[in-house]
Amino acid sequence: MNSAKKNVSNKQNQRLLQAARKAMKQAYAPYSQFKVGAAILTSKGKVFTGCNVENASYGLSNCAERTAIFAAIAESGPGLDIRAIAVVNDQGVPCSPCGACRQVIYEFGPDATVYFQSSNGWKESHIMQLLPEGFRLK
Protein backbone atom coordinates (compact mmCIF):
# COMPACT_ATOMS: atom_id res chain seq x y z
CA MET A 1 0.00 0.00 0.00
CA ASN A 2 1.44 3.37 -1.06
CA SER A 3 0.78 5.57 2.00
CA ALA A 4 1.44 8.78 0.04
CA LYS A 5 -1.59 8.04 -2.12
CA LYS A 6 -3.69 6.87 0.80
CA ASN A 7 -3.32 10.14 2.71
CA VAL A 8 -6.27 12.35 1.90
CA SER A 9 -6.56 15.59 3.83
CA ASN A 10 -9.62 16.42 5.89
CA LYS A 11 -10.31 19.29 3.47
CA GLN A 12 -10.19 16.91 0.48
CA ASN A 13 -12.42 14.44 2.30
CA GLN A 14 -14.98 17.15 3.06
CA ARG A 15 -14.84 18.29 -0.59
CA LEU A 16 -15.54 14.73 -1.73
CA LEU A 17 -18.45 14.28 0.69
CA GLN A 18 -19.97 17.60 -0.39
CA ALA A 19 -19.63 16.67 -4.08
CA ALA A 20 -21.16 13.23 -3.42
CA ARG A 21 -24.13 14.78 -1.60
CA LYS A 22 -24.71 17.16 -4.50
CA ALA A 23 -24.58 14.28 -7.01
CA MET A 24 -26.97 12.23 -4.85
CA LYS A 25 -29.68 14.83 -5.45
CA GLN A 26 -29.53 14.00 -9.17
CA ALA A 27 -30.17 10.27 -8.63
CA TYR A 28 -32.87 8.54 -10.64
CA ALA A 29 -34.34 6.07 -8.14
CA PRO A 30 -38.10 5.78 -8.80
CA TYR A 31 -38.20 2.08 -7.87
CA SER A 32 -36.13 1.79 -4.70
CA GLN A 33 -36.45 5.39 -3.51
CA PHE A 34 -32.82 4.98 -2.37
CA LYS A 35 -30.64 7.79 -3.71
CA VAL A 36 -26.87 7.38 -3.71
CA GLY A 37 -24.13 9.80 -4.69
CA ALA A 38 -20.41 9.23 -5.14
CA ALA A 39 -17.40 11.42 -5.76
CA ILE A 40 -13.92 10.32 -6.73
CA LEU A 41 -10.66 12.16 -6.29
CA THR A 42 -8.07 11.37 -8.93
CA SER A 43 -4.33 11.34 -8.42
CA LYS A 44 -4.28 14.59 -10.45
CA GLY A 45 -6.57 16.26 -7.90
CA LYS A 46 -9.70 16.32 -10.05
CA VAL A 47 -13.11 15.37 -8.63
CA PHE A 48 -15.77 13.48 -10.61
CA THR A 49 -19.25 12.64 -9.39
CA GLY A 50 -21.99 10.17 -10.12
CA CYS A 51 -25.38 9.06 -8.87
CA ASN A 52 -27.34 5.83 -9.07
CA VAL A 53 -29.56 5.43 -12.13
CA GLU A 54 -32.26 2.78 -11.92
CA ASN A 55 -34.15 1.10 -14.72
CA ALA A 56 -37.41 -0.85 -14.82
CA SER A 57 -35.23 -3.78 -15.94
CA TYR A 58 -33.28 -3.74 -12.67
CA GLY A 59 -30.16 -5.41 -14.09
CA LEU A 60 -29.66 -2.37 -16.30
CA SER A 61 -29.37 -0.03 -13.30
CA ASN A 62 -26.03 1.56 -12.45
CA CYS A 63 -24.52 2.42 -9.08
CA ALA A 64 -23.27 5.89 -8.19
CA GLU A 65 -19.67 4.74 -7.81
CA ARG A 66 -19.46 3.26 -11.29
CA THR A 67 -21.28 6.26 -12.76
CA ALA A 68 -18.60 8.56 -11.28
CA ILE A 69 -15.76 6.35 -12.50
CA PHE A 70 -17.20 6.02 -15.99
CA ALA A 71 -17.70 9.81 -16.19
CA ALA A 72 -14.04 10.29 -15.23
CA ILE A 73 -12.90 7.89 -17.93
CA ALA A 74 -15.19 9.52 -20.51
CA GLU A 75 -13.55 12.89 -19.78
CA SER A 76 -9.97 11.93 -18.95
CA GLY A 77 -9.32 8.64 -20.74
CA PRO A 78 -8.28 5.17 -19.63
CA GLY A 79 -5.30 6.32 -17.51
CA LEU A 80 -7.59 7.09 -14.58
CA ASP A 81 -5.95 6.69 -11.16
CA ILE A 82 -8.41 6.95 -8.25
CA ARG A 83 -6.95 8.28 -5.03
CA ALA A 84 -10.17 8.31 -2.98
CA ILE A 85 -13.92 7.84 -3.32
CA ALA A 86 -16.77 8.95 -1.05
CA VAL A 87 -20.23 7.34 -1.07
CA VAL A 88 -23.36 8.86 0.52
CA ASN A 89 -27.06 8.02 0.57
CA ASP A 90 -30.21 10.00 1.32
CA GLN A 91 -31.33 7.74 4.17
CA GLY A 92 -28.18 7.90 6.30
CA VAL A 93 -27.93 4.12 6.51
CA PRO A 94 -24.83 1.93 6.12
CA CYS A 95 -23.91 1.87 2.44
CA SER A 96 -20.54 0.49 1.41
CA PRO A 97 -19.84 -0.07 -2.29
CA CYS A 98 -21.30 -3.27 -3.74
CA GLY A 99 -19.04 -6.03 -5.02
CA ALA A 100 -19.18 -4.87 -8.64
CA CYS A 101 -18.26 -1.32 -7.62
CA ARG A 102 -15.43 -2.58 -5.42
CA GLN A 103 -13.94 -4.41 -8.40
CA VAL A 104 -14.22 -1.32 -10.65
CA ILE A 105 -12.72 0.91 -7.93
CA TYR A 106 -9.87 -1.58 -7.58
CA GLU A 107 -9.27 -1.64 -11.34
CA PHE A 108 -8.70 2.13 -11.43
CA GLY A 109 -7.50 2.69 -7.87
CA PRO A 110 -5.78 -0.31 -6.32
CA ASP A 111 -4.50 2.07 -3.64
CA ALA A 112 -7.74 4.04 -3.19
CA THR A 113 -9.24 5.12 0.11
CA VAL A 114 -13.01 4.56 0.35
CA TYR A 115 -15.25 6.68 2.61
CA PHE A 116 -18.77 5.44 3.37
CA GLN A 117 -21.47 5.31 6.03
CA SER A 118 -21.11 2.21 8.21
CA SER A 119 -23.18 0.95 11.12
CA ASN A 120 -20.77 2.83 13.41
CA GLY A 121 -20.71 6.17 11.55
CA TRP A 122 -18.35 7.21 8.77
CA LYS A 123 -15.70 4.70 7.86
CA GLU A 124 -12.46 4.98 5.92
CA SER A 125 -11.14 1.80 4.33
CA HIS A 126 -8.46 0.94 1.82
CA ILE A 127 -9.98 -0.76 -1.24
CA MET A 128 -7.85 -3.85 -0.50
CA GLN A 129 -9.67 -4.18 2.86
CA LEU A 130 -12.99 -4.16 1.00
CA LEU A 131 -11.80 -6.36 -1.87
CA PRO A 132 -8.88 -8.57 -0.89
CA GLU A 133 -7.40 -10.41 -3.85
CA GLY A 134 -9.10 -8.17 -6.43
CA PHE A 135 -9.24 -9.58 -9.96
CA ARG A 136 -6.52 -8.49 -12.43
CA LEU A 137 -5.76 -9.56 -16.00
CA LYS A 138 -2.43 -7.77 -16.15
54 in active site: no
Q: Rounded to an integer, what distance in angstroms lies between the CA atom of residue 68 and that of residue 73? A: 9
Catalytic residue of the set 54, 65, 75, 107? 65
**Is-contact 122 116, C-beta < 8 A?**
yes
Element at 64 (helix H, strand E) = helix 64-76
**Is-contact 130 97, C-beta < 8 A?**
yes
CA nearest 64: which of 124, 106, 119, 20?
A: 20
Active-site residue set? 65
